[in-house]
Structure 1
């Protein structure tokens, strides 16, 4: 049977002491080894619950339960609940900070979206400006081609377009017309000469035009149409003196 008492004395160096019990005149011996927690020394007046047993003909306390220590332990176990309660009381402030954080995040996302829209609009404006500039250049080139047709007559569009592009590259109008005439002449010569081919003819009487004779003396072997070697073939036949 368990009884209760209080620590009356304790000798630290020797590890034992005595317990006083209500209604008992004689104190009861105890040893620290019979305490469940030996690392915490007994204190004078500490409440204990124990059994009284006999050891070598003497009575002593056994199976000691430290009542005050249990109460302290219960108090410590209750502290986390109090702490949790304190956190619960602090939760509105925490929730307020969380709400502000979410608001800042949403505002930041809105700002990023607005900036993205502005950048996209700027890019679209740039593209439209580039397209408009290209259209203006094409219109100007078409006008130049039309002016060249009126001044020079019908020429291949490729020749006129090349000259129009050179005009867009800051070439003066007069020099452009001169260059167009030269290119047109060369183009006409290329178109004409592309109709000829070396087929073994060697004499002026076999030629149908002066251009054909020029093609043959420049590109075909063994021709006999430029006796004085001045580069002008069939002078008498085509009236080239």
Structure 2
């Protein structure tokens, strides 16, 4: 039974929502402040987070940022942002910071349950990929960049110099970069990227892929190795230097 953490300072939201979600085999606990929520997440045992934006201490965007740049166990934790701020700019900011979905208040609990089910299904689909081929995969080297699938690290390369420190990529950002780099020049559609990264039944936002690519490009600067093909998708354009085993 998936265990959810609701980070929301509305005392009256958690109990009825938890009662409703039990119909869909979810358990829910509530943290009324970000510090309480982050401490609970650090203890483990949470499968997904429902995160409000308007919070005391810090807003939900900052909480999401801390999760995506925090310990590896939290970086890939599914996050659904639930807030009264439903403007497009707020949704884009949340997705840019790594949220998996965004549902404005007032909301239908049935829709929330459906979105949570989809998010967790994607995560299970990604986790089901066999690990054995990954362990044997060599380090990929391109002009200005190396990718280590086993350590899940991306590093800058400069001619005649050792590789630089690992880039601060979220798990999804690294998965996207590795997906493209494994087949340089191949064009991946947005729908295919969603399906490959999150498992099957990916119905979220194709717009989320654009936001993810934009975020990844900023972290790779000044390296320009991801190409956009209008109305088609994205491809990797880095010049290969060979692989290291």
RCO higher in structure (CA 8 A, sep ≥6):
2
Structure with the higher fraction of residues in strand conformation: 2
Does the alignment reach a TM-score above 0.5? no
TM-score range relative to shorter protein:
under 0.3
Q: Over alpha carbons, which structure has the higher Rg?
A: 1
TM-score of the two chains, using structure 1 as the length reference: 0.17
TM-score of the two chains, using structure 2 as the length reference: 0.16
